[in-house]
A and B are shown apart, each in its own frame.
Chain A
Amino acid sequence: AQTVTQSQPEMSVQEAETVTLSCTYDTSESDYYLFWYKQPPSRQMILVIRQEAYKQQNATENRFSVNFQKAAKSFSLKISDSQLGDAAMYFCAFMNGETSGSRLTFGEGTQLTVNP
């Protein structure tokens, strides 16, 4: 079974600054995907970024980028130029890539506060 761990229950950042959220995972699978989802106070789950395990290049989506260290099983999210709208709960998630319809396994989440 896969496990996902987010060791930072809470983080805060000043507006326009950069923050990094940590995530580690454990799996014996070789084919998998990793994701970061954002859950604002509305409780909507919003996909932020996706990384395929077979890709060495780190994924980037505008101000969001990841540092994927496969050997260390680490998958951190960097948010640059933080904005007030980035304040939310952030969940790291793992998905097995070998079976269609595979579940997402989530970490416990990191609550991000953005200070003006």
Chain B
Amino acid sequence: AAGVIQSPRHLIKEKRETATLKCYPIPRHDTVYWYQQGPGQDPQFLISFYEKMQSDKGSIPDRFSAQQFSDYHSELNMSSLELGDSALYFCASSLTYNEQFFGPGTRLTVL
């Protein structure tokens, strides 16, 4: 069965640089979610989109932005990267009101 695809899987950036993470949801899923998981922590919700409209917003820094495109894929744009942004970033997708299926994550390292 098709799963959530995230790219890249690993990303290394310098402080103050910009990063773009991509997510391709499971086919026919209409909702995409982004989570950030720091070392030894539980995943923290950033933002979600339902039918290409922002549906919920968590503790997402102003330096981050995201959108969902007409083909339902989503991108998380991160600017002015800080050391504290180093984390595992998960994308998840779901069909309305159903369980969320997670991608493998993008490991971002900021040096």
Interface residues of A (CB under 8 A from B): 33, 35, 37, 43-47, 50, 91, 95, 97, 99-109
Contact indicator B33/A101 (Cβ below 8 Å):
yes
Q: Provide a sorted-by-A list of 21 A–B residue pairs whose CB atoms are within 8 angstroms.
A: A37-B102, A43-B88, A43-B104, A43-B105, A44-B105, A45-B90, A47-B101, A47-B102, A50-B99, A91-B43, A97-B97, A99-B55, A100-B50, A101-B31, A101-B33, A101-B48, A103-B45, A103-B48, A104-B45, A105-B45, A109-B42
Is A35 within 8 A of B55, CB to CB?
no
Contact B56 A103 (CB under 8 A): yes
Given contacts A43-B88, A50-B99, contact A102 B56 (CB under 8 A): yes
- Partner among B92, B96, B104, B105 whose Cβ is within 8 Å of the Cβ of A100: B96
In the bound complex, residues from chain A placing their C-beta under 8 Å from that of B48 are 101-103
Q: In the assembled complex, which residues on chain B have CB atoms less than 8 Å from the CB atom of A95?
A: 100
Give B45-67 as 1s and 0s: 1 = Cβ < 8 Å from A's Cβ atoms: 10011100001101000000000
**Chain B residue nearest in CB terms to A89:** B42
Residues of A contacting B55 with CB < 8 Å? 99-102
A108 touching B42, Cβ below 8 Å:
yes
Chain A residue numbers with a CB within 8 Å of B37 are: 43
A87 CA to B92 CA in the complex, in Å?
23
Which residue, of A45, A101, A105, has the highest number of chain B Cβ atoms within 10 A? A101
Of B42, B48, B92, B97, most A-chain CB atoms within 10 Å: B42
Q: Is the CB of A104 within 8 A of B105?
A: no
A71 → B minimal CB distance (Å): 24
Residues 13-60 (chain B) with a chain A CB within 8 angstroms: 31, 33, 35, 37, 42-43, 45, 48-50, 55-56, 58
CB <8 Å contact, A45 and B31: no
Q: What CA separation (Å) do A23 and B56 show in the bound complex?
A: 24
Interface residues of B in 83-100 (CB under 8 A from A): 88, 90, 92, 96-97, 99-100
